[in-house]
């Protein structure tokens, strides 16, 4: 890839008068030696999976295997139909769709990791609700996914995208930054505005811990996806209005790495802290406790081979 940082995305696209989506498609073709038609077809298929997840969340039973969650996306959609919303119908619909997709995920339904499964509701929530509002073609939205992918590629390779590594700021935060930036490009904003949208969005999620109740991708993940979709729309609006991220967006990504690396392990998807260890969170965990698998027997135990050489691997 010809870029590793957001400022490079901006420089190359501005110099070559390209959208970020176009650059990402060209780089993907070059990097993987795959015809453009195949690359675009793959992304189009992913977009159809996202739409199907929204439909499923709105119409089918999304009760999770644990029984803790499900049905909130439908509730939001019904609430929008009944009257005026507090956050505006556009925000509320993005939230409803994000909840739907995230609930389908929790119920072991089919979704697309964007960038992860824990954050899979935000991009579909923002994209599909905006497509309905603005009457965009699928092709336009598929381009938006390439733009989001370019942003995620930069975040993932300079910081992290998984809650286990960097907390929820890495997971939901990355998705919000990706959705915000892509939304700017979909609305015709410049690459520079895209980059500012990412920084503005990420600043608002820094420090977010990953504290899933009972270790499941449900509480608070689903709600964070819903609210994340709204944050993405808001950050896109700020950038399109000309608001700039005073701290350059690449530096914000570095801060995410710093904060996530300093986060104690109890706040990184282990369910040993945060909401997971509240009295209610603990009760939920106890209620769901299943008989555990046996501990590996000492005679059969052998340390994974690369432990000694590879202690930094998780960074």
Partner 1 sequence: MRFKDVFSIIGPSMTGPSSSHTAGAARLGRIARQWLGSTPERARLTLYGSFADTYQGHGTDLALIGGLLDYVTDDPRIPDAEEYAEQAGMEVEFFTSGLPAPHPNTVKIELWHGERQCSLVGASIGGGSVSVHTLNDFRVQISGEFPTLVLRHSDKAGVLASVTSTISSSGVNIGYMQVDRKARDGEALTAMEMDGAPSAEMLKRLQSLDHVLDIRVIDLKRGVEPDAV
Q: Pick out residues in 215-244 that bind partner 1 (CB under 8 A).
A: 215-218
* Residue 107: CB minimum distance to partner 1, A: 7
Residue 249 Cα distances to 28, 80, 176, 196, angstroms = 23, 34, 14, 6
Residue from the set 17, 33, 82, 137 that interacts with partner 1 by CB under 8 A: 33
Residue from the set 9, 112, 176, 202 that interacts with partner 1 by CB under 8 A: 112
**64 sits near partner 1 (criterion: CB under 8 A):** yes
By the 8 A CB rule, do 273 and 266 touch? Answer: yes
In terms of Cα–Cα distance, which of 269, 272, 215 is closest to 68?
A: 215
In terms of Cα–Cα distance, which of 124, 126, 121 is closest to 104?
A: 121
**109 sits near partner 1 (criterion: CB under 8 A):** yes
Cβ proximity to partner 1, 106 vs 200, nearer residue: 106
Cβ proximity to partner 1, 160 vs 184, nearer residue: 160
* Residue 116: CB minimum distance to partner 1, A: 4
**307 sits near partner 1 (criterion: CB under 8 A):** yes
In terms of Cα–Cα distance, which of 126, 118, 117 is closest to 54?
A: 126
Other CB atoms within a 10 A radius of the CB of residue 289 amount to: 8
Cβ proximity to partner 1, 43 vs 202, nearer residue: 43
Take residue 36 and report the two structure tokens written for it. 């453009």
Site string for partner 1, 144-173 (x = CB under 8 A): -xx-xxx-xx--xx--xxx-xx--------
Q: What whole-number distance in Å separates Cα of residue 258 and Cα of residue 144?
A: 29
Region near partner 1 per CB under 8 A, out of 12-20, 99-107, 188-196, 223-231: 99-107
Cβ proximity to partner 1, 95 vs 284, nearer residue: 284
What is the size of the binding site for partner 1 (CB under 8 A)?
78
Cβ proximity to partner 1, 40 vs 92, nearer residue: 40
Cα first-last separation, the chain: 22
Q: Which residue has the tokens 């993940």?
A: 221
* Residue 23: CB minimum distance to partner 1, A: 11
Take residue 304 and report the two structure tokens written for it. 């994974």
């Amino acid at each position: 890839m010809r870029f590793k940082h957001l400022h490079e995305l901006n420089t190359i696209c501005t110099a070559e008068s390209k959208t970020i989506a176009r650059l990402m498609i060209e780089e993907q073709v070059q990097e993987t030696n795959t015809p453009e038609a195949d690359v675009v077809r793959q992304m189009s298929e992913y977009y159809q999976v996202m739409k199907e997840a929204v439909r499923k969340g709105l119409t089918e039973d999304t009760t999770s295997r644990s029984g803790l969650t499900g049905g909130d996306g439908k509730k939001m959609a019904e609430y929008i139909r009944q009257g005026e919303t507090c956050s505006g119908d556009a925000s509320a619909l993005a939230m409803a769709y994000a909840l739907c997709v995230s609930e389908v995920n929790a119920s072991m339904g089919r979704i697309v990791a964007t960038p992860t499964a824990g954050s899979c509701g935000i991009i579909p929530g923002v994209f599909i609700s905006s497509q309905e509002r603005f009457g965009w073609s699928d092709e336009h939205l598929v381009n938006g996914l390439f733009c989001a992918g370019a942003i995620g590629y930069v975040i993932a390779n300079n910081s992290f995208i998984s809650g286990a590594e960097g907390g929820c700021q890495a997971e939901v935060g990355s998705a919000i930054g990706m959705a915000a930036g892509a939304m700017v490009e979909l609305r015709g904003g410049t690459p520079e505005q895209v980059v500012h949208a990412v920084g503005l969005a990420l600043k608002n999620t820094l420090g977010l811990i990953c504290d899933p109740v009972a270790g499941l991708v449900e509480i608070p993940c689903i709600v964070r996806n819903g609210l994340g979709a709204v944050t993405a729309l808001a950050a896109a609006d700020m950038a399109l209005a000309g608001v700039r991220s005073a701290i350059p967006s690449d530096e914000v990504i570095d801060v995410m790495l710093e904060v996530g690396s300093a986060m104690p392990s109890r706040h990184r998807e282990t369910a040993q802290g945060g909401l997971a260890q509240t009295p209610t969170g603990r009760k939920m965990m106890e209620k769901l406790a299943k008989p555990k698998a046996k501990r590996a027997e000492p005679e059969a135990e052998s340390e994974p081979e690369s432990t000694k050489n590879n202690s930094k691997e998780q960074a």
